Amino acid sequence: MDISSWDGTISLAEFHVAARALVEKWKRVSSASPPWSWVSCPKQPWVASHEVSVEGYLSLENIILVSIKEEHDELLSFPQKEETSCSDKEESIDIATLSQSDRDEICYYDLHIVYSASYRVPVLYFRVYYSDGEPLEFEDIKKHLPAHSAKTLLDSKWTFITQEEHPYLKRPWYKLHPCGTGEWMKLLFQGDVSLARNGAAIEVYLISWLSFVGQVVGLRIPYEMLNQL
């Protein structure tokens, strides 16, 4: 297995394999957290029902990422808010008292992982909204982002996080620009000797990618996810 000649990118088929691996491992490792799920999408609005090759994306929705603005910007992921249960409502009130962000309101994230045919890497799309569903203004999102992300935004306003049309939902979503992904994925894998030796490298591709990219929005990956199979 020759990592040195690999450019850090993956094919669509490999993305599907990696996505399945992420979903399964996440479910196993953090059963308390909301699960990543695969959302299938037909390629065209008129596609026949016997359509075999269907595209799709990974979805993690309705999660609360609470930022505790200490020196290290530790971020925790909380279970999703359930509207049916009264006890959960009380739980979300408890979460609110922990938050030291500027606004009193809790905000929710939807995270989607979509494959880019152009860059041949996964891309993170996300949405942030209040409990009534109203989306946050970009200025307010910035306040909720970890400090290092906010700074990067200042340096590269138009090229780091952009607002673009979600490839499947056709609505404006925020997107993390995939330009450098291939390069740092290659570095990530090169730097980890055990990864290079392990034949299941593609299965951990997305998990590794997410551990990196999730930091931008403050998603913490449970440590067990990163352990080798």
Catalytic site positions: 179
Among 104, 139, 155, 170, binds another protein (CB under 8 A): 170
202 lines the binding site for another protein (CB under 8 A) = yes
Among 177, 188, 215, 226, binds another protein (CB under 8 A): 177
Closest CA to 175 of 136, 126, 140: 126
Max distance between CA atoms of the chain, in angstroms, equals 55
53 lines the binding site for another protein (CB under 8 A) = yes
Among 23, 169, 188, 226, binds another protein (CB under 8 A): 169
Q: Are 65 and 143 in contact (CB under 8 A)?
A: no
CB of 10 to another protein, least distance (A): 5
**CA dist., res. 126 & res. 136, Å (int):** 12
Residue 170 buriedness (CB in 10 A; 0-12 / 13-18 / 19+)? exposed
- Report the residue number, 134 or 224, with the smaller CB distance to another protein: 134
**Residues paired with residue 37 on neighbouring β-strands, in sequence order:** 59
Choose the binding region for another protein from 47-55, 58-66, 88-96, 100-108 (rule: CB under 8 A): 47-55
Count of other CB atoms within 10 angstroms of residue 138: 12
CB of 102 to another protein, least distance (A): 22
Closest CA to 6 of 157, 149, 189: 189
223 lines the binding site for another protein (CB under 8 A) = no
- Report the residue number, 146 or 167, with the smaller CB distance to another protein: 167
Count of other CB atoms within 10 angstroms of residue 158: 8
String of b and e for 77-88 (b: at least 16 CB within 10 Å)?
Answer: bbebbeeeeeee
Among 34, 61, 119, 184, binds another protein (CB under 8 A): 119
Q: Are 35 and 80 in contact (CB under 8 A)?
A: no
Among 31, 32, 40, 45, binds another protein (CB under 8 A): 45
Give the contact letters, 146-165, x = binds to another protein (CB under 8 A), - = no: ------------xx--xxxx
- Radius of gyration of the chain from its Cα atoms, rounded to whole angstroms: 18
**Residues paired with residue 162 on neighbouring β-strands, in sequence order:** 175
Give the contact letters, 5-24, x = binds to another protein (CB under 8 A), - = no: xxx-xxx-xx----------
Which residues within the stretch 86-115 sit at the binding site for another protein (CB under 8 A)? none
- Report the residue number, 43 or 151, with the smaller CB distance to another protein: 43
**CA dist., res. 93 & res. 2, Å (int):** 51
Chain contacts with another protein (rule: CB under 8 A): 1-7, 9-11, 13-14, 43-48, 51-53, 117-119, 158-159, 162-165, 167, 169-172, 177, 179, 183, 186, 201-202
